[in-house]
Structure 1
Amino acid sequence: METQETPFKAALRSGLIIGLISLVISYVVYFINATSLASSWMLLLLVLSFVLVLVFGFSYRKELGGYIPFGAAFQFSFFTLVVAGIVGLFGQLLLFQVIDPALPGVLADQQMQNTMEVMESFGAADAMSTEQIDEMKQGMLDGYTVGGQIKSFGFVLIFYAICALILGAIIKRKEPTPSY
């Protein structure tokens, strides 16, 4: 009798693949233009991750015989995102703390510039004091520290859980019940 892979084992493999793909893309973007890491187009990387979770989820469902209950689909999706997130976290820590320790300052400046442009478009930039602007920039810099990244990963886990609910609902497929 053939044993089926558990959602956790399948998620570990899929999460490592997705995490490594995300890391490669992030590092390529870094080497091309580091300030692009602070741009909104990096959200495409998140969308790519979700698409890959679906691709691997459908593959896992097929491996299970074409049917997977919601619980297993949720577990697969959540743990895939968590593993990919942990790989990404270690890659970011390596980038920000070892490879280019000056990068957090560059990215915080870019984020600050982007934020001020948005605030100016709403007419709110003039209402901020210099102290408020400095405090906001310091908050951005703190997000690139080891503690800041671990703390933000904790919040990302909540986001992953919500996304895994949606992804699990897409991946699941009930086995048809015979009607008599």
Structure 2
Amino acid sequence: METQETPFRAALRSGLIIGMIMLVITFLVYFIDTSMLTKWWFGLLALAIFCGLVIFFGTKYRNDIGGYINFGPAFQFAFITLVITGLISVVGNILLYQVIDPALPQVLADQQLENTMSMMESFGAGDSMSSEQIDEMKQGFEDAYTIGGQLKGFGIALIIYAILALILGAIIKKKDKSLSY
């Protein structure tokens, strides 16, 4: 008798695959042009790829178990996939920022500050900041690349993952209409 795969096992496998794909993308971008890591469009593109892959693997899982899945298991699949992918990304980023290129966090923090100041100037608010506020903002950017900052970011990401999993679970679910009365 064949046993049906659980959402947890399917999500674990999918999360590992997506996490490795996202890690490869991050490292490719690092080798091509590190400044792209701080661009807003790169983050948006990564999120789109991330969500698209979760939907792809979720739909594949749904089809593997008979073509139907309720919202609960679909949410569970999406959330666990997102958490596993996030953990792999955090470990990869810690390796990148602390082991492979310890100077990178400073470069990225400077780039983020430059991007932020440029955006503020385009809104006409660039001159309103004091040097202390700018230094504080730069320190915040630098802190985000520390191990503690990465772990704190992952903690915040868990909340975002839960919200995303609700949306993705709703997309993945498919109710068997033949069971409705």
**TM-score, length-scaled by structure 2:** 0.97
Quote the residue 2:141 is aligned against. 140
CA distance in structure 2 between the aligned counterparts of 1:59 and 1:150, rounded to whole angstroms = 31
Quote the residue 2:22 is aligned against. 22
Deviation, structure 1 residue 57: 0.3
CA distance in structure 2 between the aligned counterparts of 1:148 and 1:179, rounded to whole angstroms = 49
Check if 1:4 corresponds to 2:7. no
CA distance in structure 1 between the aligned counterparts of 2:180 and 2:133, rounded to whole angstroms = 66
Please give the secondary structure, in 2, of the residue aligned with 1:90.
helix
CA distance in structure 1 between the aligned counterparts of 2:97 and 2:164, rounded to whole angstroms = 27
Deviation, structure 1 residue 66: 0.4
Q: Deviations over 1:67-113 (max 9, x none)?
A: 00100000000000100000000000000000000000000000000
CA distance in structure 1 between the aligned counterparts of 2:40 and 2:123, rounded to whole angstroms = 18
Quote the residue 2:56 is aligned against. 55
Please give the secondary structure, in 2, of the residue aligned with 1:2.
coil
Quote the residue 2:39 is aligned against. 39
Please give the secondary structure, in 2, of the residue aligned with 1:27.
helix
- Worse overlay, 36-45 or 46-55: 36-45
Deviation, structure 1 residue 179: 6.5
Quote the residue 1:152 is aligned against. 153
Which runs of 4 or more aligned residues in structure 1 lie more than 3 Å from their structure 2 counterparts after TM superposition?
177-180
CA RMSD of aligned residues (A): 1.0
Distance change >3 Å, CA 39–CA 157, structure 1 → 2: same
Quote the residue 1:162 is aligned against. 163
- Once the two structures are superposed, the pairs formed by residues 106-121 of structure 1 within 5 Å of their partners are 106-121=107-122
Quote the residue 2:76 is aligned against. 75
The AA in structure 2 aligned to 1:63 is: D
Quote the residue 2:102 is aligned against. 101
Quote the residue 1:173 is aligned against. 174
The AA in structure 2 aligned to 1:24 is: V
The AA in structure 2 aligned to 1:32 is: I
What are structure 2's unaligned runs of at least 5 residues? Answer: none
Deviation, structure 1 residue 41: 2.3
Deviation, structure 1 residue 177: 3.7
Please give the secondary structure, in 2, of the residue aligned with 1:66.
coil
Identity %, equivalent residues: 64
CA distance in structure 2 between the aligned counterparts of 1:104 and 1:13, rounded to whole angstroms = 31
Distance change >3 Å, CA 178–CA 145, structure 1 → 2: closer
CA distance in structure 2 between the aligned counterparts of 1:171 and 1:36, rounded to whole angstroms = 31
CA distance in structure 2 between the aligned counterparts of 1:86 and 1:71, rounded to whole angstroms = 22
Please give the secondary structure, in 2, of the residue aligned with 1:68.
coil
The AA in structure 1 aligned to 2:120 is: M
